[in-house]
Amino acid sequence: MTEELDVLGIGNAIVDVITQADETVLHAQNIVKGGMMLIDEARAAHLYSVMGPATMVSGGSAANTLVGIASFGGKAGYIGKVKNDALGKHFAHDIKASQVEYFTKAAQDGPATACCYIFVTPDGERTMNTYLGASQNLCVDDIDETIVASAKVTYLEGYLWDPAEAKKAFRKAADIAHAKGRQVALTLSDSFCVDRYRDEFLELMKSDTLDLVFANESELYALYQTSDFATAIEALRQDVKLGIITKGEQGCVMVSSKGITAAPASKINSLVDTTGAGDLFAAGFLHGYTQGYELQACANFGALAAAHIIQKIGARPEVNLKELAEQNKAA
């Protein structure tokens, strides 16, 4: 590990178990559509027993983002904890095979590798039920100073705020990065997650622990407890150097001290599964950002990657995003 990384991601290392389901299944299981709920082992076993046939693919929000960055040709690294079990080995295989440097040792005992049970409804919306398992044992010892120091941007998940030890690892990474003049980015992850940690997220922003914040509209509204976009955007502009708000098919809005600008979404043919839309938007954006592109170009990379990912099942790209970007430029 001597080379510089463009982006280092730190997050919950999760394998996704994805099924197609109609809304009656969500109702019957008391699942709130569209969000991410944390579940315990017993609930995980129950949901698995009632869910339909499922595809297993590596997931994890930040991990998806770093795989996207590597697919764009960026130098990507990842820190996140699995167990040394079949799913943990598969997670490690996939992220390494995606050309992401993976730095975290697997746990030899304790809970199983994290699983996210995802129900995709006919409208393409995904609803996630996450058993954190081994991922919550990520701790400060997993944060290597040399690695964090080598990354232009360290990218963190809001979801990391759920496991207590991971939160400490998160702060350690941010401290190292800033001590080395690097930047720190956070995705707010999920509106329920924002509800759980609103004050802490605002404190991270106001204290300049974060340089970039990614959020979608509902996360932004949850953060500022408003449903007025202009109010929320202005508050965000005061609180962070660069805020990027995704708005689905309406594209995104970027706010900084220099002003507020918008960029469009990319066209799609058919919506299949929204899993990973935000993760891959962040991938494209951060790829552009670490390559020195203007904000508009960063947003365009993000839109392109997000459009690809929602036209297939699962949150890992099936094409080379660098080639896709070149084709798009040529078109």
Which parts of this chain interact with its own copies (CB under 8 A)? 19-20, 48-49, 51-58, 67, 85-87, 90, 93-95, 97-98, 314, 316, 318
How many CA atoms, within 13 angstroms, populate the side-chain half-sphere of residue 93? 10
Query: Closest approach of Cβ 319 to its own copies, in Å?
Result: 9
Q: Nearest approach, Cβ of 193 to its own copies (angstroms)?
A: 26
Min dist. Cβ of residue 113 to its own copies (A)? 9
Q: Which is nearer to its own copies, 57 or 114 (CB)?
A: 57
Spell out the residues 6+ positions from residue 104 whose beta carbon is closer than 8 angstroms to its own.
13, 78, 79, 80, 81, 82, 138, 142
Sign of CA dihedral 200, 206, 210, 214: positive
Whichever of 109 and 199 has its CB closer to its own copies, that residue is: 109
Residue closer to its own copies (CB basis): 6 or 94: 94
C-alpha dihedral (268, 127, 72, 289), degrees to nearest 10: 100
Encode 62-123 in three state secondary structure.
HHHHHHHHHHCCCCEEEECCCECCHHHHHHHHHHHHCCEEECCCCECCCCCCEEEEEEECCC
Dist. CA 104–CA 102, nearest whole Å: 6
Q: How far is the CB of 53 from its own copies (least distance, A)?
A: 4
State in angstroms the smallest separation of the CB of 226 from its own copies: 40
First to last CA, the chain: 38
**In the bound complex, what is the minimum distance in angstroms from residue 199's beta carbon to its own copies?**
38
Residue 84: alpha-carbon gap to chain centroid? 23
State the maximum Cα–Cα separation within the chain, in Å, rounded to a whole number: 52
Burial of 225 (0-12, 13-18, 19+ CB in 10 A): exposed
Residue closer to its own copies by CB (options 58, 189) is: 58
- Which of 54, 233 has the CB closer to its own copies? 54
Q: HSE-up of 45 (CA within 13 Å, CB side)?
A: 3
Nearer to its own copies, 93 or 105 (CB): 93
Question: Which string of b and e fits 89-101 if b means at least 16 CB within 10 Å?
Answer: ebbbebbeebebb
Nearer to its own copies, 88 or 278 (CB): 88
Closest separation in Å from C-beta 56 to its own copies: 4
